[in-house]
Chain A
Amino acid sequence: MAAPSSELFRFVLGAVAGHRLRSSLSVLGVGIGVAAVVLLSSLGEGTRQYIVSQFSQFGTNLMAINPGKVKTMGIPGVFGGTTHQLTPEDAGSLRRLPGVDAMIPVAMGQGRVEFGGRGRSVYIYGVNHELPRVWGVGTAQGSFLPPLDSGRRASLTVLGPKLAREIFGTASPLGQRVRIGSESLVVIGVMEPKGQLLGFDLDDTAYIPVGTAMGLFNLSELQEIDLLASSSEGIPALVAQVRAALMARHRGEEDFTITTQTEMLDVFGRVIGIVTLAVTAIAGISLVVGAVGILTVMWISVHERTAEIGLLRALGVEGSTVQALFLLEAILLAAGGGVAGLAFGLLVQALLRLIVPGLPLATPPEAVVAALVMTLGVGAAAGVLPARKAASLDPIEALRAE
């Protein structure tokens, strides 16, 4: 009749508790590793979620068309080819495709917005009236740009809230004329606050009709056409349609690149996933160090408790049971470290959230599970050698130890 495992567990617990300092140090070693894994993977996952949310605030049905083909590095005409420009007319034709809900032709540049004695250098977006719908943002005062034929110029502008505040202070900018470069434009609206997108302050910009922007910045083509698909299921079909339509307009040449929002998110997700994995792996090294700590402690423990092992054997405890006892002890130490590290990691995250509210932190549950499973593995791996050593001791020799 073998001893019930609950009794073995109690015995091992007593052995662990009997060496409080040594046990807590090895628990600490594993704990630091687990805390590092949890923290770093949380940071990685948080960053990924942050970027995904940054992009998907514009919806996931977006696709962008940029001039140039990635394989030709986007440099038109290098090899004497007849590369065509991405024109407002191209944009207009794409808008008429079925399945396209909205379209923004984009031509942008940096410029100084001046009013009275004050001015501010900002990004100036040449867009059209569909921007509020596509970006999901409205105006706080006045209205957005009116529908205009693509390519038509109009001396109108809508300011981002931060820009408006910087130039006009508390006064209403509506109906005022601002100067951007050589143009004098009437402010017809101020946007709602939108925040930042990957470091671009969308509140510190001015929106003008795309035709005006092309003239102002002396652009011969659009930098981008944004399309909003009416459904995400229709996107693959729409990509094919867009490609066919544009190639037909460009004499059969595919001199443009279509990027869908999902593709972009995938790429970002993959990149951040790899970075997270790498960083977590580095943190995992500290788990290995923790395992070595447990191995050392267990090895010392077997030596120090040789007499105890001899006694147990004399009392009729089999070698395999002795082995199980020491293995269990190693696993217990590692598991203790796992739980402690997890608790510490979560505590640090809670503190970080208090101190740096904007820090992207999200603990992926699978990382927590993986870390805990790993500590069990670490304990078992670190315990095998010492446990086998304990089991293989000659009871007579062991009893002689004092």
Chain B
Amino acid sequence: MIGLQGVWRTYPMGEGVVHALRDVSLSIAAGEYVALIGPSGSGKSTLLHILGCLDRPTQGRYSFEGREVGSLPDGERSLLRRNRIGFVFQFFHLLPRLTAQGNVELPMLFGGIARDERRERATRALASVGLLPRAGHRPDQLSGGERQRAAIARAVVMNPAVLLADEPTGNLDRASAQEVMGVLEAMNRQGLTLVVVTHDPVLAGHAQRVVHLTDGALSGPPEVLTSTVEA
């Protein structure tokens, strides 16, 4: 479902260039659970941003659901993000003025979905992360774990093909982290493709496949870099 071939990402920095990603090739099948692990500065986030169509490869190909998307115009990449990709961030990124329900409805608001349907789908998404009783609370009235679960509900409410999570537990205590990972893994078991960036080896251990990044390059045996799961 996701295929990266010879992807480079470089940034100009002063006189020279910084290689955030070097010749990364990776494929992920639908329904897989992949952990991207590596020290900070290793290019994990850059890779996640490229997978999420927020960033473009400087060089190389990125195909998503069979389409070359690395060179699509911005408008189409926005549509992809809206409909096919869900994001979960370390710092939740919930809008403080909206309730949990309102935050979950946000992607649908800009997706032009009618209000009744928005409400119904948001309710379902909140129920799936076990947050329905807190739907009317604003983020500052929720615990960290609850906030991240609301963010997950927001990420899946558009029924994306893949969920990209950037250090989803990096800001949580252990109990909340387990709770959040439990929710993510349950969704993966229902068929959602899951890519989690982390520097926590314990967390990565839950994944079907762990991909190591060092200095912008993937390391490890070749079989780790291609999917072993048939979609």
Binding site for B on A (CB under 8 A): 1-4, 7, 11, 14-15, 17-18, 307-308, 310-319, 321, 395-396, 399, 402
**Contact residue among B55, B96, B106, B112 (Cβ-Cβ distance under 8 Å from A396):** B55
Fill in one digit per residue for B65-86: 1 if any A CB lies within 8 Å of its CB, else 0.
0000000001100111111010
Distance, CA A318 to CA B54, complexed state (A): 12
Q: Mark B82-114, 1 if CB is under 8 A from A, else 0.
A: 110101010101011110000000110111100
Q: Which of A15, A311, A313, A315 has the most CB of B within 10 A?
A: A315
Tell me the smallest distance from the CB of A121 to a CB of chain B, in Å.
Answer: 74
A196 to B153, CA, bound (A): 77
| Chain B residues with CB under 8 A of A11 | 109
Complex contact A317–B78 (CB within 8 A):
yes
21 contacts across the A-B interface (CB closer than 8 A): A2-B110, A3-B112, A7-B110, A14-B97, A15-B97, A311-B95, A312-B110, A313-B78, A314-B54, A314-B81, A315-B87, A315-B107, A316-B78, A316-B79, A317-B78, A317-B82, A317-B110, A395-B54, A396-B54, A399-B89, A402-B91
Other A-B contacts than A307-B93, A316-B110, 19 sampled, CB-CB below 8 A, are A3-B110, A7-B110, A14-B98, A17-B97, A18-B97, A308-B93, A311-B95, A313-B78, A314-B54, A315-B82, A315-B110, A315-B154, A316-B79, A316-B85, A316-B111, A317-B82, A318-B75, A318-B78, A321-B110
With the chains together, A308 CA to B112 CA distance in Å? 19
Contact across chains for B49 and A396 when beta carbons are under 8 A apart? yes
Nearest CB in chain A to that of B155: its residue: A315
B86 to A: closest C-beta gap in Å: 9
Q: Is B216 positioned at the interface, with any CB of A under 8 Å from its CB?
A: no
B interface residues, Cβ below 8 angstroms from A: 49, 52, 54-55, 74-75, 78-83, 85, 87, 89, 91, 93, 95-98, 106-107, 109-112, 154
Q: How far is the CA of A311 from the CA of B89 in the complex (A)?
A: 9
A residues less than 8 Å from B75 (CB atoms) = 318
Considering the chains assembled together, what is the distance between the CA atoms of A18 and B97 in angstroms?
6
Known: A14-B97, A307-B93. A318 touches B109 (CB 8 A): no
Given contacts A310-B93, A395-B54, A396-B49, are A315 and B81 in contact (CB under 8 A)? yes
Tally of A-B Cβ pairs under 8 angstroms: 70
Within 8 Å CB of B91, what residues of A?
307, 402
Greatest chain A CB density within 10 A among B81, B96, B98 is at B81
CB distance from B37 to the nearest CB of A (A): 20
Whether B97 lies near A3 (C-beta < 8 A) is no
Instruction: Check if A313 sits within 8 Å of B54, measured CB to CB.
Output: yes
The answer to whether A316 and B81 touch across the interface, beta carbons within 8 angstroms, is yes
Of the candidates A17, A316, A402, the one having the most CB atoms from chain B within 10 angstroms of its own CB is: A316
Query: Nearest-CB distance from A319 to chain B (Å)?
Result: 7
Contact B110 A399 (CB under 8 A): no
Q: Sorted from nearest, which 4 A-B pairs have the closest CB atoms?
A: A316-B82, A18-B97, A316-B81, A1-B112
Contact (Cβ within 8 A) B78 A399: no
| Contact residue among B52, B79, B85, B93 (Cβ-Cβ distance under 8 Å from A311) | B93
> In the complex, A311→B95 CA distance in Å?
9
Residue of A nearest to B114 (CB): A4
A residues near B82, Cβ cutoff 8 Å: 315-317
Cα A18 to Cα B138 in complex, Å, equals 12
Residue of A nearest to B106 (CB): A315
Task: Judge whether B111 and A308 touch: CB under 8 Å.
Answer: no
B90 to chain A, nearest CB (A): 9
Q: Which residues of A contact B154 (CB under 8 A)?
A: 315
Q: Which A residue sits closest to B45, measured CB to CB?
A: A396
A93 to chain B, nearest CB (A): 85
Chain B residues with CB under 8 Å of A18's CB are 96-97
A308 contacts B95, CB within 8 Å?
yes
Chain B residue at minimal CB-CB distance from A6? B115
Most B-side CB within 10 Å, residue of A18, A312, A321, A399? A399
Q: Is the CB of A314 within 8 A of B52?
A: yes
How far apart are the CA atoms of A41 and B138 in the complex, in Å?
47
Residues of A within 8 A of B74 (CB): 318-319
A311 to B107 CA separation, bound complex (whole angstroms)? 10
A321 to B111, CA, bound (A): 12
In the assembled complex, the Cα of A15 lies from the Cα of B96 at a distance in Å of 10
Q: Is the CB of B97 within 8 A of A4?
A: no
Taking the nearest CB of chain A, how far is it from the CB of B10, in angstroms? 15
B contact residues around A15 at 8 Å (CB): 97
Chain B residues positioned under 8 Å from A307 (CB to CB): 91, 93
Which residues from B are CB-within-8-Å of A316?
A: 78-83, 85, 107, 110-111
Closest chain A residue to B154, Cβ basis: A315
Chain B residues with CB under 8 Å of A319's CB are: 74
Residues of B contacting A396 with CB < 8 Å? 49, 54-55
A15, closest chain B residue (CB): B97
Q: Which A residues are CB-close (under 8 A) to B83?
A: 316
Complex contacts, A395 vs chain B, CB 8 Å: 54
Of the listed residues B49, B74, B82, B110, the one surrounded by the most CB atoms of chain A closer than 10 A to its CB is B110
Bound-complex Cα distance A338 to B8 (A): 53
What's the minimum C-beta distance from B156 to chain A, rounded to whole angstroms?
12
Residue of A nearest to B96 (CB): A18
- Nearest Cβ in chain B — how far from A209, in angstroms? 83
Which chain B residues lie closer than 8 Å to A318 at the CB level? 74-75, 78
A15–B82 Cα distance when bound, in Å, is 21
Q: How far is A351 from B71 in the complex, measured between Cα atoms in Å?
A: 65
